[in-house]
Structures are given as C-alpha cells and as structure tokens.
Structure 1
Amino acid sequence: MYRLFARLLNDNKGNVLPIVGAALVPLLMMIGSGVDLSRAYMAKSKMQSACDAASLAARRVMKSDTLNDEVTKTGKEFFNFNYPQGYYGASTFEPVVSKPAAGVIRVNASTTVPTTIMRIFGFATLPVAVNCDAELNFVNTDIVLVLDVTGSMAQNVDGAPKIDALRDAVMALYDELAPIQAQLAAQGLRLRYGIVPYSSTVNVGRLIYGQNANYMRSSTSVPSRVANFNNYAVQNRTNGPGSWEVYGGGSLTNGQCQTYVTADPVPGGGPPPTATTAIKYQGTASSEGYVQSQNWGYSGASDTSGSGRSCRRWRFVETTTYDANRRQFSNWTYQHVSYDVSNYMKPVSSSIPSQGKITYAKDATGTIPAPNKTLYINNMPSSVTGGSSEVATWNGCIEERDTVTTIDGGASYTIPSGAHDLDINLIPNSDATRWRPMMPDLIYARNAGNSPVTPSETDVPATSTAGWIKNNTPESGYWACPTEARRLAVWDRTALDTYVKSLQTVGGTYHDIGMIWGARFISRGGIFGDSCDVFNGMPCNRHIIFMTDGAQTAYCNVYGAYGVEANDMRVKGATNCTSDSQTNSVTAQLVARHEQRFRMACNEAKNTDTSVWVIGFDTALSANLTGCASTQRQADTVANRAALIAKFREIGNQIGALRLTQ
C-alpha cells in the first residue's frame, strides 16, 4: 500500500486536466470582469459625451445667469439624444441639471448596466455615473456697438419707434453680460463697451480734439458764400418838385394810358459816387400806382368819355447822393471759402467770448467801409453796419480726412495710399491726415461743381435751380449730426441706460462711416489705441456688433462726412453729381463707391482680430452686409422688437467661449 501511494505521488502523468479544471474558475472570473467592465466603460464613455453635450447646450441657452425650465429641458433633451434610454441595457434614469455657481451649468446622471458573465458570480449589474460642468470662458472683452440711428429708425415697428427697440436691445445685451462683467472685475479683468451712432457722419470730433487738438485742422474750406458790396452806400435820396405831364399825342385807351403812367424810370447822372437822378412817373402826387379816375379821362380833360380819352401822369425827379467812403450790399457769390476754426472747436467759454463759436451773417443788409468789395459771412458781423447775425457752436460732428476718388466700387480690399479716411491706425501728421469740424451753418451747396456762382437774386429759395441749394435743418435730411459716440469704457447700467435714451434719429444711411469708426474704436493702435492684446496678464477679445435698418445711401447734396459731394467731389471726383433722383446712374455710382469703402472698413476691422456681428433690423441684408460678418452665422435679420432683443441677448451669450470645466 505504501509503495502504491509513493508511485502515485511521484507519477505526474494526467495532472493537467484537474489543474486546468481548477484554474477555469478564476480565469472565467477574470475574462468575465474584463468583458463586463469594458461594456460598463463604453457605456460611461458614451454617457460622458452625452453629459458634456447636455451641459454645453444648457449653458448656451441660459440667459441672465438664470436656471429655468428652458435650460433644464435643453440639457435633458441633449443628454437623451446622445444617450437614449436603455442604451447598453442601462436601467432607466433621469439626468439632473443644476447651477452650482454663477455662470456654471452642471449635469449629473447615474444608472446601472447589466453584466453577462459576472452574473454567474453574483454581480448582476455594474454602476455607471457621470457629471460635468460647463461655463462661458470670458477673458478681457471689448465690444463696440455700431448703431444705425438714421431717420428711418423713427419709424414704427410693433406700434413703437424702432429706436426704442434698439435701446431695449442694447440694455438686454448689457443685462446678459452683467454677471460676466462682475466676475471679470472680481478677477481684476474687464468687460467694456464703446458705442458709435452713425448716419451720414459720426459725432467724434470732441473725442479727437480731447485726445490731441492737433489731430483736427485749424482751418477748413467748405462750400459757402461771399457777400459782394459793389454798390456805394446811399447818403441821401430826395424827390424834386413834381408836376402833371399830359400825353401830347392825342387820346389813349385805358390800357395805353396805364402803360404811359407806369413807364420805367429814366436814369441820369452818375456813376456813383457822383449823384444819380431818376425821372419817375406815377398815378398822382400821392399814389405810385395807376389811378384811372385821375389819369384817364380825368376831370377837366379835353376828352373825358369814350374809348379814347385824355391821359396824364405825375412826373418828378429823384436825386440820390452817395457816401464815397462806404459800400452797400449788392449780391452773393456762392463758392468755397476757407475758415479759421481754431477757436470754433474749443470748449465754449464765457470769459473768452470768441471761443467755441463762430458769429456769422444771417443777412447782408447794411454797409461796409470802402474800398472793401467782398466779405465772408463770418467776417461780416464785425464789419457791417446794420444787418443781423447769428452764433454757431460746434456740434461735434466731423468731415473725414482726405481720401481718393479711385475707389470706384471694385472688389479689391487694398486701401490706396492716399485714402487716409480708411487708414484706421494712421496718426495725423499733416492737414491731409487731419479731420475737419462740420460747419453746417456756413454751408451753401451749389448745384454741381466747385466754380463760384453769382445769381442775380439777393436770396434764392432752396428749391431754386438758379445755382445753389441752401442746406436745411437736420430733420430735412440735408445734414445730420447724431449723438456723440463713446470710447471703450466700463459702464454701469444706469449710465448706459441714460446714454441709449439720448440717441436721436436723423439723417441718411452711410454704412462706411459707421464701420470706419467702429474699427478705429476697437483698434489697438491709431489715435486712441483703446483696445489691448493683454490686460492684467490675460488676453483681450474684441467684438463689433453692427446694426442697421436700411441699405447704403449716398446723396450729391447732403453735407456729411465727405463734405458736399456735388461741390467737394471727394468720393466720385470731378464728374457730374446732381441732386436728381436716387435711381439715376450717377447716384448709383456714388452708392457703389461708398459700398466699396464699407467693405474695406469691414476688412480692416476683421484684420484687428475682431469678431464682427451684423444685424439687419426690419430689413434684408445685402451681400455687402452679410460679407462683413466674421462668419455666416454671425449675420442675421430680425423683424420686430422681441426678435431684436433676443438677437442681442444671443450674441451676448455667444461672445464668450463655451468650455467644459469638469
């Protein structure tokens, strides 16, 4: 027996089978756990992706940092879309959407997935849980609002002026970003707004002058007028003794007698300052007009009845003497005039009466000392005896610096070297590169060209074709000056609300001047250099929100950022530009040139690493406007007040970069 067990102990033949049998149990456990854990891992990975998508989507729709039903519903819908119930056999569960901190959306979800092999060993399910946080990642943020405030913004949409909807939309954007502004401020960072209201020009002059007075011209030439004093002043005028003068050629009819009585004066003497005479005729000694009862068939005449009667008139001699030392106004010449504006742009000062204003002639009645023959209207008040004057103060609006007329509506974005208006970072170093103050009170636009015009009339109504057109009030659209723009700054809500309520609607739609100054305000260079690459150790993001309610316009006789095109000819050049209908070919060419300038300005803005958003309010967007936006999704149209407010909120919600933080 002993020998039998000894042989068995030392004989290992056939041991593999029991050993393998014994090893199958742990091996099965190992393989089973790997398979089931892999399935659980794949389920968790899929759930995590769904969680990330849900948190990002929910954060995207959250407004004013408020967790509401829309946010919760969006988060759950995105989760369930990306991880349908029952996927990988998971048990039913409900994602939980919450807001653990300001600006943060959190999504949690937990479930179990069934096992296959591990079930043999008593493990029927494996737990799976995910969580994720999403927030908008903001750094230093600069936003310039370029806002169309033209006359059409006074028109009603939804029963109220469009400008009211714009004001509400701007405040909605502010409210959307207010929590972010507070968070950035707590970290030593900042969110700032700049605002450029535009129409046919922009109100930036005082900002330029305040930055450096030398950035503005000290003198400027504008279409204006010169008073001509070609007549010697009357010193005395007397009427000599008069007498009846009877027609000596026989009887006259009523009409013939009237012509005889009202004959033109017969001049004599002179020329001034030598005394002149005028033999004059009138009905009677006391009546200048024709008095039939006294002139035709008068009492005592030889023929007092019938169709041909006697005729007489009162004849007298008027003698005029002149003051050889004074001249009297004769007429106006309408031409370009250069004015000294150095005092005009200074802040108005009571201690310096001439500062901040120009006193100009309202009319030209009166006299000036000889031998003067012409006076500019701003020199007349101090030189003319008699007449009346008014005082003009600067409205802050500007004429752009020099440009070229070769930008003809082509497709090139290359800015010509002489187009200083489109060079947003050029620091003024000459009059060609400096801005001009607008002087609407001294503007008298001629119909076309820059040659002087001297009508025979002493005053011509605005509707006349006699050679010039006087600009009217801003409400008439001949010139406009919008509300003063604001450079980038941190705003509180009260200040911004007060400002947007001050926006006025006036003028025509010149998109190019709005975008030029939007680009200047957002630039890191140029005369302001307000934006930044880095502030307090963190990068700076830049955005322009451009809103308009209309298409590009251009007029020959509007006084705006490029002067009066009919006379200054800065955009179209020395070619015919009249005040005809907007449908004529000349105006179409002018519009095309302004549209090309707009495209160039947009390109310059985007070259500053600025994201451009374009909104068409109650209007379709042209290809120009759509192409100005940084991406196709950043150009959109809205039809009413609610949609405009929603669009501004949406932009505010998209300005930050969404990121997952957990």
Structure 2
Amino acid sequence: MPSRSTVLTSARSSMAALARDKRGNTLAIIAASLIPLAGMVGGGVDLSRMYIVKTRLQHACDAGALAGRKQMGGGTWAFNSYAARTAAERFFDANIQASPYGAASVTRSFTESAGKVTGTASATLPMTLMRVLGKTTETLSVTCDAEMRLPNTDVMFVLDTTGSMGSKAVSTDSQTKMQALKSAVKCFYEIVARLDTAENCAGGAPSGGTSSTVQIRFGFMPYATNVNVGKLLPTSFIADSWPYQSREAQFTTSTSTTWTQGSATETGSPNIQQGSTSGWSTISTTYDVTSSWCSSQVPPDGEINYTGSPSTQNYQEGSGNPRTTTWETQQDGWRYEYRASYRSSDDRCRIQRRSRDVVVTRYWTRTDTGTETTTQTFNRWRYAQITHNISGLKNGTSWNNSVSLPIGYQGAARSLTWDGCIEERQTVSQSSYSPIPSGAKDLDIDLVPNSGDPSTLWGPALPGAIFARDVQYYWSELDRNEALTTADYYNNVPYYCPEEAKKLQSWPTASTFESYVDGLTPNGNTYHDIGLLWGARFISPTGIFRSENEYTSQGGEIERHLIFMTDGEACTGDTDYAAYGFPWLDRRTTDPSSAPTGGCLTTGTITQQVNARTQAICTAVKNKNITLWVIWFGASSTTIEGMMQSCATPGRYFAARNATDLQNTFRSIADQISQLRLTR
C-alpha cells in the first residue's frame, strides 16, 4: 500500500495537471452557471405567464365595464338593485377562467361616477422556476373604464303637433299622445345630455352632463298646417311685399279749392253818370256885403260819398292759380251844385243850390291764391289677390310683431299681428318631384334667399289679411274671380300656427329644455312636408345656417340626426290657410285650372301633393349625410307606414303603438346615438 505521503503527492500532481487542462475549466464554469441559468429561463417562462394573465384580466375588465355602462343606459348605477354592476361582474367572470394559468385570488370591482364606469381587477400568480431566486408569487392588477362618449352631435326634432295628438294612441294609455311625446323627448334628453329632468324616466336619474369638449345641440321643428320659423330668420330673407287673397278699397275722388283773398285795389277813375236835375232853391240871402265876399261864399260842388267796402257787381275771375278777380261797384246819390248872385243896388248876396241824380261806377281788382284739396270717398271693395306692403314688420335686423294694412273699415288701416308662421317661396305643381325641378325653389333645402330675386324669399303668414270672397256657404269656381262690392266678406279662415321652432343650440339647463317641450300644443291638420322641409333647413350644414352648422366653434366635425315623429297620415283641407296660401284661391301646389280637394292618407289633390313633396324631402335629407330617424306613433296602417319606412334611413324606422312603445323607441334611438366607447 502506498504511503500517505505518496498519495498526497500524487493528488497534488493530478490537480496541477487539471489546472493546466482547459477542458476541466469549462466543466467547472458550466457547473457553476447552472443555478443562475435556471433562474433566467424560469423568469422568462413566468414573465410570459404574467403577461398572458394580465392581458386576460384587462380583457375581462374592459368587457365588464362596457357591459355595466350599456346596462346602465341613461339611468343610474344603483337602478334596479345595481343591475348594471351585476352585469359588469358577470361579463368579467365570463371572460376569464376561474384560475387562469394557475392564478389564484382573482378579484374584480366596478364603480360609477358621473356616468363613467370604472373597474379594477387583480390576480395572484404563483411562480415556477423563479422560486429558485426566492420569488414565489406575483400580484397582477389592471384598471378599466367605459362611458357613453358622444361625438359632436346635432339632433333636430321634427314633431307632429296636430290636433290628433290630443287624443290617446290606445284606450289603455294613461296619457294622450302629446303627453307621451313630451315625456319621451325629455327622457331622450336625459340619456344624450346626461342631465336630469323632472320626468320619471326608466333607468333612473342621470348626472354629470357631457364633456365640455363635446358639442351636443338640440333643435325643434313643431309642425301642423305650418311652421313657426319667420322670426328666427334674418329680415333680408322675408319679402317687403307679398300677394295675399285679400282686398283693397276703391274710392271716388273729388277736388275742391280754397281761395285766400289778396288786397283789393281800385283801378282807374270813377265813372260818374248824371241823371235829372232839380230846380234852383235859395238857401241864404245876405245884405250889405261886397261882391267879392259874395263870390267866396259858394262852396264846391258836392261829391258822392264813396266810403264802404266795394260790392261785387259785374264780378269776373281770371283762370289759373293764382287768379285775378275784377269787378265794379255802383253807388247812387245826389250831387249838389251852387251859385251866388250879387245885387249891387243894395249889396245883397243870394246863394242858391240845386241837386242832380247821379250813378258813380268804381273799378276794383284783386289777386287771389287757391289751395286745392282732394277728397276720397269710399266707393267699394276690390276682392282679389292683392300685393300688400309688409315691410313694416321689419325693424332693422329685428322684427316687429305687427303691421298695418289698409283693409279696415272703408279702407282704414288695420293692425295685424304676426305670430311667426310663413308662406313658402316659389314652387311648381307636379305629380312627382323625383328629381326636384329647378322651379320648385321651396323644395331646395339649401337655397339661400337673394333679396334681388323675389322668387327665393318667404312671406309672413297673415290670416287677418285673408278674405275668402263670397264663399261663406258654398264654393264655386266663380268665387275665384275678383269681386267688386261694398260687402264685407269672410275674414276668419282656418289657421293654425304651432309653437315657435328652435334652432340647434345647447341646452345646459334641463328646466329650460322641459319648459319648451311642455309648451307644445296639439292643433290643426297634418302637413308633413312643411315640417320636414324646415327641419332639414335648420340642420343642414350647407344651407341658410351654414355658418352655425357646418363645424363646431372649434372646427370639429358634427354627426347629424333628424328625428321625424308623426301620429298620422297627411290630412289637408281646401280652406286651410297654410304655408302655400289659401288653397282654394291660390292653388300654388295643385292644378290651377281645377278645384283643389283636401282629404287624408292619399285622398285629395292637396294631400297627394303633401305626400309627393314629403318623399322628395326625405330623399334630399338622406343625400346630405343626415341620419333620418322616422317614428310612426299609432295604430298599424300599411300604406302610411310604408311611406314612412321608405322615408327613413335604412334601419332607422320605428313603429310605436302606445305611450310605452314611444318612450322605448326614443330611448333606443338615444342609446344608438350615444356611442359606447372605452376611455381607457
């Protein structure tokens, strides 16, 4: 056996050899790096697991937030025992495994504030190979939120406010159709504007409003036989004169002259014509006088007294103005002649007198100035289409509420109040308006009026100016002729003007919105075309309100929605004073050679025109990239519902049979307009 020293020496030799051998070094290095290498590989595996689990948590959190916000709709988080929170939790659970990739303690929590649903989720993931480095678990957390975030949005309500809206849709409804409409519109506002009204809407009360960076505007176009838009337009859009089926007074004219007299001036010398002479008579005898003295006692011959104003004998006036008036005056009297006789024998002086009958003629002239006065006396009325000056409604860039027209008693001025309804501009009568003819300027949504072209202007509706000729009891074609008479004809034609429309505007105060909606009143017949036409004008980005509608004040794009709701088919009357005048006499939309007829659905030439024009306007609206929502509110009607469905943007037609249906319909539209978007 080798000795101990021999073994040690051999070992030292082996180790020295190993130290000098490179293969031995590599083996040692590999052995030393196995532990950190295992940690690095394990870290990559665990990091991948962490990424996958966190992604799954995020997806589940997002799904829950979206589901919760959608369930919440326009209501509140706590509504129906926190149904929205329950929906959020269920969707989270459905989108993640109970123990994803071995994770444990998965938690989720969803809350709401100002309409935004916020979620947090976490999970604890056990580590695998990283345990060798002392890392046994990792807690992963995510957050998410979702809210109804509208784009810049304009909503124009075109609402039927005709008389039938005052009745119930079905006998089981507790509200009239008008009451149901008001409720539905307020709840629509709650969903879109995120502001609470006094209405008891399904889903609870909203709060928080919309983002200040988003423009949300609502406009209203109530309609019946007409629309009330006139005072919302610039004064230059309304004509200064307009033809009405009215009357004008005809007068008998007489002229009189009042003369102002000048000063009378005597011309020439008086003409004295002497008549018979009386005998001489002694008037005095004087003695003891001289001859010269006697001669001095003879007075001059007596003259006729010419005092007093000149009389008007042989009166003669000149022509023209001023005029010269000449005349002569005659005065009768006595002229006295005297003589003196001197007798020298006794120095006696005798004075004698005799008288003569004379006529004195004097001549005068005077220049008179005349003032002519023309007097008109009422003679009769002319009943016809009369063009009246209505410029008195304008007060610079603002409006007066009344205008005076000479249609009162015997042609006196009568003040007529203007409520704001209008008469449409130039149109043509055709059976179809596809395409819209160039002459139908009323159907051109975007045509901006030109004060130099009267065919592009609108006129004010003035029912007080309308006289229906002699048609109080029956109609006749003869009644279309103008009438000349002293009679006062019918001046109370059927007329209905709805609540004034509202241009697109923000409604930051719910009470203001409510107050306007509550003011809507049912009255009048149904003319869909005029309501839809003006609703389109008020929302169009390229028309009369382009400067207000094309972009937001910050230059942002706008999504546009027109909601057209009606409870009935078109119903017209040949005596309705509406947007196209007095139909029986004006015949602007119907054949002027035959009597127009009213009716409902498709009966009557006026009704057929309303339907044709409505379809043309529907097409024009859709061609402007405006989403046209149409709601039919009432019992099923195949014909009218077919027309309404073809009017709407595809997929945007709804039929509501009762008050509950109507509110659900408006709610559905509001939810679709309010696009659900993730904000984180």
| TM-score tier after normalising by the smaller chain length | 0.5 to 0.7
- 1:512 maps to 529
Whole-angstrom distance in 1 between the partners of 2:537 and 2:610:
23
1:381 is the counterpart of 2:409: yes
Residue correspondence of structure 1 range 227-376 to structure 2 within 5 A: 335-343=384-392, 356-357=402-403
1:168 is the counterpart of 2:183: yes
Whole-angstrom distance in 2 between the partners of 1:85 and 1:450:
89
- 1:220 maps to 242
Give the 3-state SS of the residue equivalent to 1:444 in structure 2: coil
1:617 is the counterpart of 2:630: no
**CA deviation after TM superposition for structure 1 residue 128, in Å:** 3.1
- 1:438 maps to 461
Whole-angstrom distance in 1 between the partners of 2:384 and 2:239:
20
**CA deviation after TM superposition for structure 1 residue 643, in Å:** 4.3
CA deviations over 1:217-261 (Å, ceiling 9, x no partner): 2332244578999xxxxxxxxxxxxxxxxxxxxxxxxxxxxxxxx
Alignment match of 1:597 (pick from 613, 616, 622): 616
CA deviations over 1:349-398 (Å, ceiling 9, x no partner): xxx9xx82457xxxxxxxxxxxxxxxxxx6462349xxxx9864223211
Whole-angstrom distance in 1 between the partners of 2:378 and 2:188:
64
Relative to structure 1, is the Cα distance of residues 560 and 581 closer, same or farther in structure 2, using a 3 angstrom cutoff?
closer
Relative to structure 1, is the Cα distance of residues 599 and 654 closer, same or farther in structure 2, using a 3 angstrom cutoff?
closer
Relative to structure 1, is the Cα distance of residues 125 and 471 closer, same or farther in structure 2, using a 3 angstrom cutoff?
farther
**CA deviation after TM superposition for structure 1 residue 75, in Å:** 2.0
State the percentage of identical aligned residues: 33
1:39 is the counterpart of 2:49: yes
**CA deviation after TM superposition for structure 1 residue 440, in Å:** 2.9
- 1:267 maps to none
1:72 is the counterpart of 2:96: no
Residue correspondence of structure 1 range 399-418 to structure 2 within 5 A: 399-406=423-430, 408-410=432-434, 412=435, 416=438, 418=440
- 2:292 maps to none
**CA deviation after TM superposition for structure 1 residue 5, in Å:** 2.7
C-alpha contact 2:89 2:110 (8 A) present in aligned 1: yes
**CA deviation after TM superposition for structure 1 residue 408, in Å:** 0.4
Give the 3-state SS of the residue equivalent to 1:220 in structure 2: strand
Give 2:417's aligned amino acid: T
Give the 3-state SS of the residue equivalent to 1:515 in structure 2: helix
Unaligned stretches of 5+ residues in structure 2: 1-9, 197-206, 252-375
Whole-angstrom distance in 2 between the partners of 1:471 and 1:649:
45
Relative to structure 1, is the Cα distance of residues 561 and 455 closer, same or farther in structure 2, using a 3 angstrom cutoff?
closer
1:57 is the counterpart of 2:54: no
1:97 is the counterpart of 2:99: no
C-alpha contact 1:599 1:624 (8 A) present in aligned 2: no
CA deviations over 1:392-430 (Å, ceiling 9, x no partner): 4223211111123347054x4x66364244233413332
Whole-angstrom distance in 1 between the partners of 2:485 and 2:410:
24
Relative to structure 1, is the Cα distance of residues 139 and 590 closer, same or farther in structure 2, using a 3 angstrom cutoff?
closer
Give 2:391's aligned amino acid: S
Relative to structure 1, is the Cα distance of residues 456 and 561 closer, same or farther in structure 2, using a 3 angstrom cutoff?
closer
**CA deviation after TM superposition for structure 1 residue 195, in Å:** 1.6
Relative to structure 1, is the Cα distance of residues 16 and 651 closer, same or farther in structure 2, using a 3 angstrom cutoff?
same
Give 1:78's aligned amino acid: F
Relative to structure 1, is the Cα distance of residues 142 and 24 closer, same or farther in structure 2, using a 3 angstrom cutoff?
same
Give the 3-state SS of the residue equivalent to 2:514 in structure 1: helix
Whole-angstrom distance in 2 between the partners of 1:395 and 1:91:
72
Higher mean Cα deviation, 51-60 or 500-509?
Answer: 51-60
Whole-angstrom distance in 2 between the partners of 1:47 and 1:631:
39
Higher mean Cα deviation, 526-535 or 162-171?
Answer: 526-535
Give the 3-state SS of the residue equivalent to 1:636 in structure 2: strand
- 2:678 maps to 660
- 2:220 maps to 195
Whole-angstrom distance in 2 between the partners of 1:628 and 1:84:
48
Alignment match of 2:229 (pick from 186, 193, 204): 204
- 2:450 maps to 428
Give the 3-state SS of the residue equivalent to 2:117 in structure 1: strand
Give 2:60's aligned amino acid: A
- 1:156 maps to 168
Give the 3-state SS of the residue equivalent to 1:97 in structure 2: strand
Whole-angstrom distance in 1 between the partners of 2:409 and 2:418:
18
C-alpha contact 1:106 1:134 (8 A) present in aligned 2: yes
Relative to structure 1, is the Cα distance of residues 431 and 90 closer, same or farther in structure 2, using a 3 angstrom cutoff?
same
CA deviations over 1:535-583 (Å, ceiling 9, x no partner): 1465555443332223344555533222344543333444655326545
**CA deviation after TM superposition for structure 1 residue 472, in Å:** 6.8
Give the 3-state SS of the residue equivalent to 2:419 in structure 1: coil
Relative to structure 1, is the Cα distance of residues 629 and 448 closer, same or farther in structure 2, using a 3 angstrom cutoff?
farther
**CA deviation after TM superposition for structure 1 residue 507, in Å:** 2.1
C-alpha contact 2:618 2:648 (8 A) present in aligned 1: no
Whole-angstrom distance in 2 between the partners of 1:382 and 1:458:
9
Flag the structure with larger Rg: 2
Coordinate RMSD, CA, aligned = 4.5
Whole-angstrom distance in 1 between the partners of 2:675 and 2:31:
60
C-alpha contact 1:511 1:598 (8 A) present in aligned 2: no
Relative to structure 1, is the Cα distance of residues 90 and 659 closer, same or farther in structure 2, using a 3 angstrom cutoff?
same
Alignment match of 1:558 (pick from 576, 582, 585): 576
Give the 3-state SS of the residue equivalent to 2:227 in structure 1: coil
Give the 3-state SS of the residue equivalent to 1:530 in structure 2: helix
Relative to structure 1, is the Cα distance of residues 21 and 639 closer, same or farther in structure 2, using a 3 angstrom cutoff?
farther
Unaligned stretches of 5+ residues in structure 1: 230-324, 360-377, 462-469
Higher mean Cα deviation, 143-152 or 3-12?
Answer: 3-12
Higher mean Cα deviation, 157-166 or 532-541?
Answer: 532-541
Whole-angstrom distance in 2 between the partners of 1:203 and 1:153:
18
Give 1:196's aligned amino acid: M
Give 1:110's aligned amino acid: S
Whole-angstrom distance in 2 between the partners of 1:92 and 1:571:
75
Residue correspondence of structure 1 range 571-590 to structure 2 within 5 A: 571-574=589-592, 576=594, 578-579=596-597, 581-582=599-600, 583-584=602-603, 586=605, 589-590=608-609
- 2:140 maps to 128
1:489 is the counterpart of 2:505: yes
Using structure 1 for the length normalisation, give the TM-score.
Answer: 0.65
Relative to structure 1, is the Cα distance of residues 198 and 655 closer, same or farther in structure 2, using a 3 angstrom cutoff?
same
1:535 is the counterpart of 2:584: no
Whole-angstrom distance in 2 between the partners of 1:572 and 1:204:
24
Relative to structure 1, is the Cα distance of residues 538 and 120 closer, same or farther in structure 2, using a 3 angstrom cutoff?
same
C-alpha contact 1:345 1:357 (8 A) present in aligned 2: no
Whole-angstrom distance in 1 between the partners of 2:45 and 2:476:
88
CA deviations over 1:565-615 (Å, ceiling 9, x no partner): 4543333444655326545474674244123233144236x44xx444433
C-alpha contact 1:602 1:628 (8 A) present in aligned 2: no
- 1:322 maps to none
Give 1:199's aligned amino acid: A
- 2:345 maps to none
Give the 3-state SS of the residue equivalent to 2:497 in structure 1: coil
Whole-angstrom distance in 1 between the partners of 2:582 and 2:384:
12
Give 2:388's aligned amino acid: Y
**CA deviation after TM superposition for structure 1 residue 432, in Å:** 0.5
